[in-house]
Every structure is written in structure tokens, then in C-alpha cells.
Amino acid sequence: MRFGWQMPVTLRFGAGCADEMPATLGGRAAVVMAFEPAGRLGLESRWRAAMGERLLDWVPIADGLSSLARARELSDRIWPQLRRQPGCVLIAVGGGTTLDLAKVVRCRPQEDDFERVTAALRGEAPWPVLAAAPLWLLPTTAGTGSEVTRWATVWDTDAEPAVKRSLDEAFGYAERAWVDPVLTLSCPPAVTRDTALDALAHALESIWNRQGNPLSDRLAVSAARRVIAALPGCLAAPADLSLRSELSLAALEAGLAFSQTRTALAHALSYALTLEQGVPHGLACALWLPTAWQLALGRESRVDERLAEVFGTPAEQGPDRLRAWLEGVGVEARPAAFGISASDAEARIAAALGSPRGRNFVGAP
Ligand SMILES: [Fe+2]
């Protein structure tokens, strides 16, 4: 057995820990990219008071896709400030879109030319020499795990149809992250559910993954069990901070696990659904989880043993258990529910198994 582990992000977890962030700045300046509810929730006024003159700019980030076009616009506003204040920290507080945009915006080339970032993300040129800003992340969903991964997704909407581009580099990790469940209290029910399903998908995809190892397995099983136990209650009682904490911890565990293994078949299958029908990412992944579970059975004893731990039942009962649990949170996890015929599903699975993520899957040829 051989495996490695890299996790350069300094983490803080716990209710209220986001308010410790300004003190960590010391004398440094900062630019904050923030999801829109930050004002309504009082976070903006508390941080403005605590940061004083060190806060150079507060940049509101609206909901929506993270795209190259948005990253370019944000760079136009933020890069001049980063250039003027060496050591200035870029802080992002928000959901996956905000965090992923910040991961791209922090990649400022020495000559401030966004086209060089675009070319690198499109694979047309190597990354230029960067004057990268320190990046601190505070997720407000539970979640994408973006705060502990080295990658970010940005849609290239200049292409027709839009193409998914990935930042996936050793320099993609944040320096620091605060995972504060209080920040997720503002999540509406649909976002709470779909982001928790994304975390569940990260956990399961880390288990049925060729890169799975004993450490990622422990985190992944714990994460999956935590989502399954906490999500139904959290949807019924969205203000319950202890259930929110469980989901935040689950998303962090899943994020740590798949930061090492990457995703697999269900993610590979999800992207077309998001692009074709606008299905939210976590939901699009969840739809394929029972299918992927079925295909993962009997491939490796490690995988079967870990999958058996998820529901505490033999692994082969998992697909049905998972379908029933998903129905309980309002998700019909059958491709047909999204207009995908059985033969179409088979063709999609065959194609996905040959993709980079699909090849991580233990059931890939
Ligand atoms: Fe995901």
C-alpha cells in the first residue's frame, strides 16, 4: 500500500469562527469578495468595523455561474489594488461560485494580463509567472469543499456551446479557510439540499475511486454517514445550528477526502446534465450515485467494505437504500426522471468511463 497526502490549507472550524478572521490579518490589507447576503446577515458591518482601513474594497458577488467573463471583470477591479498593496490578502466568503472565482482572480500574472490567464485555463499556453495574492476562503454552503481543493471550475461562455475550464494546479490551494456553520444558516432549502448532495457525492466518489486510501476512506465514510443522518432533519429545521454544523463538518470531511482522490463516474456524468438542462451541480451528481454504486460493486474488497459502512448494510443493498433516502429528500434518482432513456444512459456511462474522472472509477475498464 502506497499513498501520499498534501493539504497546505490552514483550517479553522466551528460556529462563529468567521469572526476571528479580521484579527488574523494583522497589519495586512485585504480585498473581500462576498456573497450578497453578507450585508443582510450583518457580516459586512462586523468585518468592516473590525478591518477598518485595512479593507481596501468590498466586492459583492451575485449568484450564478463562475465564468471566465466574470473573472475578467473582477480582475479589472481587484488587480490594481493587489498591485498597489503587496501582501494584500484576497478573501472570499460565499458559495462555490464565489470561492472558485476568487481562486482564479488571485492568479495575477506579473504583467496583469488576463488574456494570459485565459490562455492557460484553455490549455493554449503554460501558466505565466504569477504575482499570486494570498487567498483566504470562507464557505457559506456545506458544500463544495472548494476551500480545501486545488481546483476551480470556470465556464468558458465565449465558446459555443459553453465549455467547462478547470484551474487545477499546485498553486490553486488557499492559504487559510474558516469553516463556520453559522454562515450556512442563510442557505435556502434547495441550496442546502443540493450542496449537501454534492458533499455526499464527493464522499462516495472518493470511496469508489482508484486513488482511495485508508485516510481518505475514513473521512469519506464519516462524511457520507453524516450527510445521510443530518440532511433530512436540517431541511425540516433549517435554523438548527447543530444540524448545520454536522453538514459543514461532513462537507469538510468529504472535501478533504476528494482533495486527494478527485471525483469519479457520477461527476463525469453530471456535467452534461448541468449544461443541457441547468440542473444544479449537486443534484446532477446525486442522480447518478445509485447507478455508480451498482457499477462499483464487486470490484475491490476495500470499496465493498467501505460502502457497507455507509448504511451499515451489505454493500449490494446500497443502491436501493440510497434511492430511497434520496426520495426522502425529494430527489428521484433515475436518469428517466430527467428525460434520459435507458439506452441513452448506457451510452453516457460508456463515454464517461473513458473521461479523466471516469477513469478514476474502480469500475472503469
Ligand atoms: Fe462536486
Give strand ranges (E) for 191-334: none
pLDDT reading at 157 higher than 90: no
- List, in sequence order, the alpha helices (H) in 85-155: 96-105, 114-121
Q: Find out whether 58 and 44 touch, Cβ atoms under 8 Å.
A: yes
CA of 102 to the centre of ligand 1 (A): 17
CA of 198 to the centre of ligand 1 (A): 5
Q: What is the largest CA-CA distance in the chain?
A: 61
Provide the pLDDT for residue 109.
Answer: 97
CA of 82 to the centre of ligand 1 (A): 30
**What mean pLDDT is predicted for residues 304-323?**
98
Bridge partners for 33 per DSSP: 59, 92
Structure confidence by residue, pLDDT tens digits, 177-218 = 999 999 999 999 999 999 999 999 999 999 999 999 999 999
CA of 199 to the centre of ligand 1 (A): 7
Distance CA 186, CA 139 (A): 12
CA of 224 to the centre of ligand 1 (A): 14
CA of 170 to the centre of ligand 1 (A): 19
Q: Which domains does the chain have, with CATH numbers?
A: 10-182 (3.40.50.1970), 191-360 (1.20.1090.10)
CA of 53 to the centre of ligand 1 (A): 37
pLDDT reading at 147 higher than 90: yes
Distance CA 182, CA 248 (A): 9
CA of 256 to the centre of ligand 1 (A): 13
CA of 284 to the centre of ligand 1 (A): 9
* Residue 304 grid coordinates: 465493498
CA of 18 to the centre of ligand 1 (A): 24
Question: Which among 119, 108, 134 is positioned nearest to 165, based on CA atoms?
Answer: 119
Query: pLDDT band at residue 1, thresholds of 50, 70 and 90?
Result: confident
Provide the pLDDT for residue 207.
Answer: 98
Helices 214-236 and 241-261 sit at what angle, rounded to 10 degrees? 150
Q: Which amino acid is at 26?
A: G
Neighbours of 364 (CB within 10 A): 18
Distance CA 22, CA 20 (A): 6
